[in-house]
Structure 1
Amino acid sequence: MATTEDATTTKAPWYAGVNRYQWLVLAIASAGWIFDAFEGQIFNITREQMLGELLGANGDPGAIRRWGDSFLAVFLLGGTLGGVVFGSLADKFGRKPTMAATVLFYSIFSGLTYFATELWHVAALRFLVALGVGGEWAVAAALVAEVFPARARAHASGIFHATSVLGTWTAAIVGLLVGSQWRYAYLVGIAPALLVLWVRSSLVEPESWRRAGESGQKLGSFKELWGDPRWRYPALGGVAMAAIGLGTFWGVTVAGQDLARERLIRDGVSREEASAKSKFAYGVVETAGGGLGLLCFGPLAARLGRKPAFALMLICSVLIVPITCYAPRNYTQLLAILPLFGFFTLSTHAGFALYFPELFPDRLRATGTGVCFNGGRLLAAPILWFSGEIKNQPGIGLQAAVAGLGLLFLVGLAVLWFMPETKGRPLPE
């Protein structure tokens, strides 16, 4: 049974007492999330080449950006459905078979993108990939929270989510290697299917989930999730928090690549060179800062509490966005700021992996976690559409649009006010 012991109440390091199987669970969950991130980011890295080819003569920069943001919105919608459905299935039938199914789902449909020749092909395949991506995160986040002891949970969950940086780096490297031959990047997306063998051979169902099933409780019930105010209000707040996090990720954090590209073009660099350098700026430099932010969130939440850690990072995000948009006078200066931009604007995503599983009981943990994070994708989709529209308005410009979208972090602070603090509390049963 979970205890209220916290990593800050003992002098022993947080990882003291963590056994081999718990490390194995973290490794498997992280591997799945790394490939999740790859599947999501490979489109962002290659979309200029992909959409330029598929749009043909109509492939001007404005059209590419507009279609790119539209397909990202489709991805968010697919992730919503996948997270909700697969999260419930994980509570009903177990973590192990559901995780294997989600990995197969996003691997197969990513590989099929190699054959896309029409825009609707891309839309359909991105939706199907997102089904698996959304589902895998919900299952993995719940599994890590259930397996690790209370005093190590914040750190382990932070590490789990921070490994997404490896997926982004992999996508950036693959994107640079394939260049204009974007189709080959999606063939790499088939590789995660091998992870299924590891999942099937190594994982066992958590004891807490088995106890919930043996007690005769109804597992993965949406009726209970929304009907019981103990779970309904945290779920609604979690959805709102995730919507702000995901909306600002795709509208603000990812825009670091666009800011770098525009900066280089204004400095007289050719579009081809600007495209390659902007991939490096976002996929490597900014993402390095983002990864550090994700790693730091767990220890910060363990020390300060979940809500204070979120609040601190949201306030810093509000401040760093306009600085990143307007302070740099050249590409080198922008490169110096991008790690801080990534650090603050991305850090709270590790908090979602830690915080959401702590809000729900064993019988609803994957369901509630999936609803929060992936329900947030649904609300983030209009933000993404609005982001694409405002960034293409001639009278506004990219810098002003991104700076304006950064004010959404203030909305996140308002939502946070109404959420419960879970530091030091046992997982609900």
Structure 2
Amino acid sequence: MNSSSRAIGETLPRKTTLNREQIIGFWAAWSGWTLDGMDSVIFALVLVPALKELLPLSGFAATPSVIGLAGSLMFALFLVGWGFSYIWGPLADRFGRVRVLAATTVFYAVFTGLAAISHNVWELAIFRFLAGVGVGGEWALAGTYVAEAWPEDRRRAGAGYLQTGYYAGFFLASALNYTIGTRYGWRVMFLCGLFPVVVALYTMLKVREPRKWQRTHGDAPAAVPSKRPLRDIFSRPYRQRTIVNSVLVTIAILGLWGGSIYLPTAVIQLAERQGIDAITAIKLASATTAIFSIGTIIGCLVLPFLADRFGRRPTLAAYYATAALFLVAGFGWAFYLQAGLVPFMILAFFIGLGGGNAAMYALWLPEQYPTSIRATAFAFSTSIGRFFAAGVSLCLGVAVNHFGTLGVPVALTASLFIVGIITLRWAMETRGAPLPD
């Protein structure tokens, strides 16, 4: 190596090497978040066959409009359960990230698996609600864990890597549905949701609490743990950022929930319109969900670098604009083409790319709060919007039932991203700031 190449090499910043504990902890958190994503999207993939079987057993006709309305009610209940998952945040601030993270994983896995034994829509609804309570906690606790466990110069990229797990779960669920679901049916798909219990046990046995949390909860804590973290996130220093963060996450949820959840149903309808048989239509729905997931994973991986280069607020605005544009193009235009299946499948990739905005919250929210209330703030901001999303899900179901189409109602949800871009004016820019103690 000559002197000039050595000089160049010496000026390049070197990233801190991750130790074994940080690597094991990340993969445990990532695996849990991946299986969380798998469990969340299973119902979207099996909605039609599950409701076709259970609605008649519950005294209802399994017509397309009833399936659409019942599906919306199920999604709403799942979101309400997710909304209640903010309870995991204060528990994690008090008892530790790892133990509570494992508990959330067991919680959502067990109730996803129990959905396989549903005898009617009422039982399925209860199981979906309870699964939602566990699913929501995973995001907040996994994001908090990685932010606190990884070194400062790598935690932003770690947030992007972590968020890919949720959409890798979409891809995994799609692959399972393509192979197992089409052959063995929807009940076996729900049974696959029991696998996260293994990850929970591994987490409990192998992963240690982050040192930042230990410093506030050890024998001689460097900071006093908060006794009322939920109250503290609305105290004077944090009130505005908590409200703004909650609004931004809510808008992201509302704007993309309909697009991602109704994606398989839209593909099935497009395929049937073109004379494609039912089994092939289900496979195409799974393939499109996988395409959407690939787009989202790429968006998540790129986001941390854009956020460090241009700032948190401009980057999130660009992602919001991308999601809005392609939601309108996919559901407002391609869905109504006579041969719109292929254009819709292509646009699903770009809808997913905009959906990569989810990685921003795992990166950005931990930067705005101290360790003593970080998990509570993260859990609250990412959960409270689910109650509003439940209302939007119901409204979407009513709109789809009323208009006899899901294209325009879903496309209209893109307008919410404009509200998000305006709200960013009051958000806290943290580019270049270290994680608070």
TM-score norm. by structure 2 comes to: 0.90
Aligned to 2:12: 11
2:81 counterpart of 1:71: no
Of residues 176, 181, 202, the one that matches 1:198 is 202
Of residues 208, 211, 216, the one that matches 2:215 is 211
Range that drifts further, 175-184 or 328-337: 328-337
Aligned-partner SS, 2:233: helix
**1:369-424 residue CA offsets vs partner (Å, 9 max, x unmatched):** 000001121222112211222222227x3222222111111111122221100111
Aligned to 1:330: 340
2:389 counterpart of 1:380: yes
* 1:149, distance to aligned residue in structure 2 (A): 2.2
Larger Rg: 2
Q: Which amino acid aligns with 1:245?
A: A
Q: How does 1:10-409 map to 2 (within 5 A)?
A: 11-12=12-13, 15-56=15-56, 58-82=61-85, 84-176=86-178, 177-179=180-182, 181-213=185-217, 214=221, 215-219=223-227, 221-226=229-234, 228-282=235-289, 284-325=290-331, 326-327=333-334, 329-344=339-354, 346-394=355-403, 397-409=405-417
Distance 1:36 1:155 in 2: 21
Q: Which amino acid aligns with 2:315?
A: A
**1:279-333 residue CA offsets vs partner (Å, 9 max, x unmatched):** 3222x12221122112211221122111111011111222222222314643222
- Kept in 1, the 8 Å contact 2:44–2:262? The answer is no
- Kept in 1, the 8 Å contact 2:16–2:151? The answer is no
Q: Which amino acid aligns with 1:295?
A: L
* 1:29, distance to aligned residue in structure 2 (A): 0.8
Q: Which amino acid aligns with 1:149?
A: P
Aligned to 1:3: none
- Kept in 1, the 8 Å contact 2:47–2:71? The answer is yes
* 1:219, distance to aligned residue in structure 2 (A): 4.5
Identity %: 28
Distance 1:277 1:405 in 2: 24
Aligned to 1:5: none
* 1:355, distance to aligned residue in structure 2 (A): 1.3
* 1:40, distance to aligned residue in structure 2 (A): 0.5
Range that drifts further, 53-62 or 213-222: 213-222
* 1:42, distance to aligned residue in structure 2 (A): 0.6
Distance 2:193 2:341 in 1: 31
- Kept in 2, the 8 Å contact 1:178–1:184? The answer is yes
- Kept in 2, the 8 Å contact 1:155–1:302? The answer is no
Aligned-partner SS, 1:58: coil
Distance 2:275 2:200 in 1: 48
Distance 2:413 2:46 in 1: 24
- Kept in 1, the 8 Å contact 2:68–2:397? The answer is yes
- Kept in 1, the 8 Å contact 2:147–2:363? The answer is yes
- Kept in 2, the 8 Å contact 1:297–1:351? The answer is yes
Q: Which amino acid aligns with 2:360?
A: G
Distance 1:29 1:130 in 2: 18
Aligned-partner SS, 1:39: helix
Range that drifts further, 260-269 or 96-105: 260-269
Distance 1:235 1:137 in 2: 17
- Kept in 2, the 8 Å contact 1:134–1:374? The answer is yes
* 1:59, distance to aligned residue in structure 2 (A): 0.8
**1:128-179 residue CA offsets vs partner (Å, 9 max, x unmatched):** 1111111122111101111122221221001101111221112112222222
* Backbone CA RMSD of aligned residues: 1.8
Aligned-partner SS, 1:230: coil
Aligned-partner SS, 1:243: helix
Distance 1:115 1:398 in 2: 30
* 1:271, distance to aligned residue in structure 2 (A): 4.3
Aligned-partner SS, 1:151: coil
- Kept in 2, the 8 Å contact 1:387–1:405? The answer is no
Distance 1:122 1:31 in 2: 25
- Kept in 1, the 8 Å contact 2:303–2:315? The answer is yes
Q: Which amino acid aligns with 1:335?
A: M
Aligned to 2:422: 414
* 1:277, distance to aligned residue in structure 2 (A): 1.8
Change (3 A) 1:17 1:409: same
Q: Which amino acid aligns with 1:199?
A: T
* 1:220, distance to aligned residue in structure 2 (A): 5.5
- Kept in 2, the 8 Å contact 1:92–1:220? The answer is no
- Kept in 2, the 8 Å contact 1:220–1:367? The answer is no
* 1:362, distance to aligned residue in structure 2 (A): 0.5
**1:209-237 residue CA offsets vs partner (Å, 9 max, x unmatched):** 122232333255212122x1222221111
Q: Which amino acid aligns with 2:92?
A: A
